Structure 1
Amino acid sequence: MTQIAAAKPADADALKLLIESAYRGDSARQGWNHEADILDDERISLAEVEAMLADPAVGLLVARDDDGRLTGCVAVTRKDDTLGYLGTFCVDPQLQSAGLGRKLLDAAENEARSLGLRAMEMTVITQREVLIAWYERRGYRRTGETRPFPVLRDPPLHFAVLEKPLTGA
């Protein structure tokens, strides 16, 4: 039975490994949701994970299996009094398509509501149409805004901005 709870500082190393395995390299290709065909650099550093865990504006949730192994994660960052940002969302590639992503997304949205946030925003690389469609099926909508990818690429990458109201849900 999967447990979803707040991440702890002691989870930093396991979180880094989980995030890298879900987004990059051959391990990521075992699942449907990865960036391995677009990007091949490090997804997140250990220092970045530790900073997220220490930041009071970030709520990092983790899913654990019965053995306590991390199987997924998602972060909710308070942007202002009403808006949260959903990020660092991943599921172990071998467990994708089994409903864990949906459970993590629901937990993140509930966390945001408990903080009094009324909307959730996220960014997705525009080339990831299948992932954008998954979010759209869960109530997220493209705002029409795009943002540049933080690292220069050739060809350049951009993020689509998606948002979902959390009130009345």
Structure 2
Amino acid sequence: MHLELAVATDLPALHSLVESAYRGDSARAGWTHEADLLGGQRTDLAALQIMLDDPAQRVLVLRDGDRLDACVALANRGNGTVYVGMVTVAPRLQARGLGRLMLSASEEQAVRLFGATRIEMTVISQRTELIAWYERRGYRLSGERRPFPADDPRFGLPRRDDLEFTVLEKPL
């Protein structure tokens, strides 16, 4: 297994990895899914292509031969802040330390690629177990909440009407 930046030829496998870990029955094999909170898609090929084309964003992938086993997205927000999102591990490989590996790699890359001094993320507030996992990795609740784009099916179809994001942050 090795870490590298995603490239355009990775798009189909990257999309499949993200969808399998966040949505539908395949996601239920892991503990980090959103399948009980959201239906529909987590992302689409067009959104992933935009991430790859944008010089202020990077997607790191963990590759095992031709297979993508994990990924994480970084977006430079300026002023020393990088947003980390789409932290994904294939459901069959969860609880093996790959999430920690990807998070650590994203923090290192945020500093190396963008000169970040702070990293932030958003997590659906109802995902308390996942928030606690990030807190054990040094992330802290900022106290800020952000609305979930419930009226935009590109981000999923809410199964409840109270979804919102909690902002977590960590100094680097």
CA contact (8 A) 1:71 1:92 kept: yes
CA contact (8 A) 1:23 1:35 kept: yes
Please tell me the residue identity of whatever aligns with 2:46: A
The aligned counterpart of 1:76 is 74
Q: Secondary structure at the match of 2:55?
A: coil
The aligned counterpart of 1:130 is 129
Aligned-partner Cα distance in 1 for 2:73–2:161? 29
1:67-119 Cα deviation digits (max 9, x unpaired) = 22000100110001300000111000000000111111111000011121000
Which of the pair is proportionally richer in strand? 2
Aligned-partner Cα distance in 1 for 2:123–2:88? 13
Greater relative contact order (Cα < 8 A, sep 6+): 2
Instruction: After TM superposition, list the pairs within 5 Å mapping 1:1-169 onto structure 2.
Output: 2-65=1-64, 67-114=65-112, 115-152=114-151, 153=158, 154-166=160-172
Please tell me the residue identity of whatever aligns with 1:157: L
Q: Secondary structure at the match of 2:39?
A: coil
Q: Name stretches of at least 5 consecutive residues in structure 1 with no aligned partner.
A: none
Please tell me the residue identity of whatever aligns with 1:63: L
CA contact (8 A) 1:84 1:121 kept: yes
Aligned-partner Cα distance in 2 for 1:86–1:12? 19
Shift of 1:30: 0.3
Q: Normalising by the residue count of structure 1, what TM-score does the alignment of the two structures yield?
A: 0.94
Aligned-partner Cα distance in 2 for 1:163–1:12? 28
Aligned-partner Cα distance in 2 for 1:106–1:54? 24
Aligned-partner Cα distance in 2 for 1:155–1:49? 27
Q: Normalising by the residue count of structure 2, what TM-score does the alignment of the two structures yield?
A: 0.93
Shift of 1:41: 1.0
Give RMSD over aligned pairs: 0.9
Q: Name stretches of at least 5 consecutive residues in structure 2 with no aligned partner.
A: 152-157
Aligned-partner Cα distance in 1 for 2:129–2:3? 25
Shift of 1:151: 1.5
